[in-house]
Amino acid sequence: MALARRDFLKAVGGASVAGSLVGYATPAAAAMPAALAFGFTDDNVPMNAANLCPMPSSVVTAHARYAQALDLSLSTASRAGVEALKEDARSRVAAMLGTSADEIAIVRNTSEANNTIVQGMPLAEGDEVVLWDQNHPSNDVAWEVQASRLGATVRRFSVPTDTGSIDEVVDLFVAAVGDKTKVVSFTHISNITGFRLPAAEICAAVRKRKGDIHIHVDGAQTWGAVDIDLGAIEADSFSGSAHKWFMGPREVGILYVRERHIDSIWPNVVSIPWGRTKDDAPTGARKFDALGQRDDAAVAALADTAGFHEAMTPAGIEERSMMIANRLREGLQDLNVKFVSTANPAFTSSIVILSAPRENSRQIVEQVYDNAGVQAAATGGLRMSPHVYNTADHVDRVIAAVKKSRALLS
């Protein structure tokens, strides 16, 4: 028996995150309410949001419910219900980012979103791509591979982590732009230093220097951690992964493309829901998420994750995440250990990295886990990236564990 769309939505929508958080609109710096429960145990605590986040338990439950409902009926009607939830997610994500749903593609991750821009950009021989040297490989090596194929060139530049002011950072970006520069592409927050670039100021200054440049921002370490207004930032494209700071389903991500550029960027994959001819493209940025069969339940669960963020508010999530990260940063500073990440509040993020010899980094990560029950990472040294699910107790345990293992940092 076919499952009607309204029945499917009733079956899968009965316990959404938004519903479980009704009435919770207080600042996120307040104590975490029970409705925001996560599934990890207190002796196995994630503090590696820069790589992978747990999903709220309510999102896990919703994801499983969607999958179960689809297994109950794979009819056209039931799958249409999933598609409706996908459009709900698209609209809600767009609203939080200050843009329109037609400018958002729901892809699989940041790497795919970055490569859609890299491979879809109409570069020509002699064009130049300017990159920050702390970009992720999918926003760095990918450009080099494409440029070598098309006869374009890539130029990288550095921003010292001890840079003193936003103006200095902006000046470095402007100085890197030349007459042949076609693209400026940078990672909003570095996963290897935690350095947070002033994206809005950079975009405004670069556009003033050369108005026809395409500016792409890799938001893998931003989406879900920072309250972003893409209308104010004025980037031409932006990418993000739900499995990181957004705390959403795996293999789901976003690509924002400003409306005026959608027609000029070619999609990497052309599949359903394209029509019978090349002119029958989906509306707007949807042409970039015509990727064939997806994990429909995961895509649908993006709407529930958006509800989680709406309830806490993006500003509230940023406030709490930074509050926890600052407690960690200040406690580690008291140990007089060497940092990779900056202490300048103009550039700090929720990624805190201590300097460690390469040969010791994995060992100290293991010792922090053994002594604190907290998962960190060896990226860039000893990297800790706390998020809203972390507590003061988690932070204090990490500080004590680092103190115990500090000899490995030198």
What are the pLDDT digits (tens) for 182-223?
Answer: 999 999 999 999 999 999 999 999 999 999 999 999 999 999
Q: Specify the pLDDT at position 12.
A: 38
Question: Considering only 61-75, 164-178, 195-209, which range has the smallest mean pLDDT?
Answer: 61-75
Q: Which of 282, 309, 336 is the last residue of a domain?
A: 309
Q: How many CB atoms lie within 10 A of CB 336?
A: 7
Residues 115 and 236 both lie in one domain: yes
Which of 270, 294, 309 is at the close of a domain? Answer: 309
Are 122 and 182 part of one and the same domain? yes
Give the domain extent around 250: 96-309
Q: Which of 27-36, 39-48, 219-228 has the lowest average pLDDT?
A: 27-36
Count of domains forming the chain:
2
In a domain? residue 191:
yes
Confidence of residue 22 (pLDDT cuts 50, 70, 90): very low
- Does any domain span residue 26? no
198 and 157 together in one domain:
yes
Q: Do 282 and 335 belong together in one domain?
A: no
Same domain flag for 124 and 272: yes
Is residue 125 domain-shared with residue 227, that is, in the same domain? yes
User: Does one domain contain both 287 and 319?
Assistant: no
In terms of domains, do 319 and 303 share one?
no
- How far is Cα 356 from Cα 379, in angstroms, rounded to an integer? 10
CB 242 within 8 A of CB 59: no
| Cβ neighbours of residue 169 closer than 8 Å, sequence gap 6 or more | 159, 163, 197, 198, 201, 202, 347
Alpha-carbon distance 389 to 45, whole Å?
9
Q: Is residue 101 part of a domain?
A: yes
Share of the chain above pLDDT 70, in %: 91
The pLDDT-based confidence of 83 (bands split at 50, 70, 90) is confident
- pLDDT score of 270: 94
Distance from the Cα of residue 329 to its chain's centroid: 22
Asked if the structure places residue 20 within a domain, the reply is no
Looking at 309, 338, 361, the residue that finishes a domain is 309
Provide the pLDDT for residue 269: 94
Indicate if the pLDDT at residue 11 is higher than 90.
no
Does residue 66 lie in a domain region?
Answer: no
- Looking at the fold, whether 248 and 383 belong to one and the same domain comes out as no
Q: With a cut of 60, say whether residue 266 has pLDDT above it.
A: yes
Residue 379 has pLDDT above 80, yes or no: yes
Interhelix angle 110-120/141-150, rounded to 10 degrees, is 20
pLDDT at 10 over 80: no
pLDDT at 325 over 70: yes
Q: Which two tokens stand for residue 334?
A: 């008291």
Q: Looking at the structure, tell me whether residues 293 and 349 fall in a common domain.
A: no
Q: What is the rounded average pLDDT of the residues 57-71?
A: 93
* Length of the chain counted residue by residue: 410
Q: Does residue 197 belong to any structural domain of this protein?
A: yes
Averaged over 265-294, what is the pLDDT?
A: 92
Concatenated DSSP letters of 161-184: TT---HHHHHHHHHHH--TTEEEE
Closest to 161 (Cα-Cα) out of 131, 129, 132, 185: 132
Stated pTM of the model: 0.91
Q: State the average pLDDT over residues 372-385.
A: 97
Token pair in block for residue 39: 């599934």
Please list, in sequence order, all residues whose beta carbon lies within 8 angstroms of the beta carbon of residue 286, skipping any fewer than 6 positions away: 102, 105, 273
- Looking at the structure, tell me whether residues 248 and 373 fall in a common domain: no
**In the predicted structure, residue 5 carries a pLDDT above the cut 50:** no
Assess if residue 1 is contained within a domain.
no
140 lies in a domain? yes
CATH code (residue 271): 3.40.640.10
CATH number of domain containing 355: 3.90.1150.10
- Could you tell me if 101 and 89 are in contact, meaning their C-beta atoms sit under 8 angstroms apart? no
pLDDT band of residue 102 (cuts 50, 70, 90) is very high
Q: Is 405's pLDDT higher than 50?
A: yes
pLDDT of residue 36: 62
Comparing 162 with 206, the larger pLDDT belongs to 206
Examine the domain organization and report whether 294 and 352 are in the same domain: no
**pLDDT at residue 273, rounded to an integer:** 87
